Amino acid sequence: MIGSFTTAHAENLLVTVQKVEYSSYAAPLELAGDIHARLNVDLSFRVSGQIVERIADVGAHVQPGDILARLDDAEQQTNLRAAQASRDAAQAMLVEAEAAYQRQRQLLDQGFTTRSRFDQAEQQWLTATNTRTSADSALENARDELSYTELRAPSAGIVTSRDIEVGQVVQAAQPVFTLAEDGGRDVVLDVQETLVNHGPPGTSVTLTLLSDPSIRARGRVREVSPVVDARTGTVRVKVEIVDPPPQMTLGTVVTAAVHLPQAQAVALPWSALTSDAGNPAVWSIAPETGVVSRVPVEVLAYERERLILRSGLEEGMTVVVKGGQMLHQGQVVEILDSDAEQEGQ
């Protein structure tokens, strides 16, 4: 809050002074960013092959289980048929071995066979059982391999990138689509490192659509990157959008007004600032003697045509706001009341 101004005169010097008044201050901080999905998933096939069909494209909204693309499945179909045949053969061998085992068991109970023949039949039955189990696993794996030739959406969302075309050969685990999952939306901001401390996680933010300022939403700082971009000197900050309106879609640009905690501060014109051994200071005037002295101050923020001081001054002090360039430590100035000056004119 800027207090009342007083004009002070020395014989050849004219300065303007201001009384120090502390008031509540919250630094304005507005930044621009675009909207991203909270979760972005890179999708890829689990087997290698040639693309024979691409169904989804960038911008498509998909549901869980929707097919995005298909691979040529001739090899997987062949492997499935071979696995099915092996399983059928193993099942037939098991049925035969189990029948022989049961027959030898009955004969052994009746004393019409030897123990060695019974043990041999039992061993063949156990071997056939294990062979059938192995064939079941191979058949299940072949079915899975066939299912992997279809790339399905794991969740609802919007396709934001596509890196394949029909006829292209892709490798297993090679990213082919990026899916922005439905749900949470974030505004991504690149903030100067010096401003990061003003917006810690949990700080309230007001978001405004750049193309339509009437569209607003609440937000809060969700994540502050611990790494500074070496090229730009900025830190990435993610702001969670609380109940985003339909107009705030992926990729749209918004402005973020950060609501910073209020602090007691003094507002002075830029012209009040001087230097004390390279540090910010202002000139203070002793009312009784008119002697000026430098007072070191801590600057909270620099704004257009004014600066905000956090500390260094006491309430009611008189400081020079114009003409300080002509002063030196211990100089005596005469202070005249502005009201008296006006009456004498």
pLDDT(324) > 80? no
Given a cut of 90, whether residue 233 has pLDDT beyond it is no
CA dist., res. 168 & res. 180, Å (int): 24
Residue 94 burial class via C-beta count within 10 angstroms: exposed 0-12, middle 13-18, buried 19 and up: buried
Question: What's the pLDDT tens digit per position in 292-322?
Answer: 889 999 988 777 788 888 888 888 888 888 8
**How far is the C-alpha of 2 from the C-alpha of 268, rounded, in Å?**
6
Q: How confident is the model at residue 9 (pLDDT cuts 50, 70, 90)?
A: very low
- Predicted confidence (pLDDT) at residue 343 exceeds the cutoff of 70: no
Paired tokens of 128: 């056939």
Determine the Cα–Cα distance for residues 14 and 8; give it in Å rounded to an integer.
6
Residue 1 scores a pLDDT above 60: no
At 48, the pLDDT band (50, 70, 90 cuts) reads very high
Query: What does the pLDDT look like over 252-306, one tens digit per residue?
Result: 999 998 866 778 889 999 888 888 888 899 988 887 777 888 999 998 877 778 8
Instruction: Kindly report, residue by residue over 181-203, the tens digit of the pLDDT.
Output: 998 899 999 887 766 665 677 88
Percent of the chain predicted with pLDDT > 90 = 52
Phi-psi region at 323: left, alpha or beta (left = phi > 0; alpha = psi -120 to 50): left
Share of the chain above pLDDT 70, in %: 89
Q: What pLDDT score was predicted for residue 112? A: 87
* Structure confidence at residue 197 (pLDDT): 61
> pLDDT at position 270, please?
87
> Average model confidence (pLDDT) for the chain?
86
Contacts 24+ apart (CB under 8 A), 230-236: 232/190, 233/192, 233/193, 234/190, 234/191, 234/192, 234/193, 235/190, 235/191, 235/192, 235/193, 235/196, 236/188, 236/189, 236/190, 236/191
Angle ∠(15,21,25) on CA atoms, nearest 5: 120
Angle at 163 between CA 158 and CA 169, to 5 degrees: 130
Q: For 103-145, how does the pLDDT look when each residue is reduced to its tens digit (9 = 90+)?
A: 999 998 888 888 999 999 999 999 999 999 999 999 999 999 9
Helix (H) or strand (E) holding 225: strand 212-228
What pLDDT is recorded for position 262?
A: 77
pLDDT tens digit sequence for 136-154:
999 999 999 999 999 999 9
Q: Average of pLDDT values for 165-194?
A: 91
Cβ within 8 Å of residue 206, ≥6 positions away: 216, 217, 218, 219, 256, 257, 259
Q: What is the pLDDT of residue 176?
A: 96
Query: Across residues 77-96, what is the average pLDDT?
Result: 96
Radius of gyration, CA atoms only, the chain? 40
Please, which pLDDT band fits residue 10 given cuts at 50, 70 and 90? very low
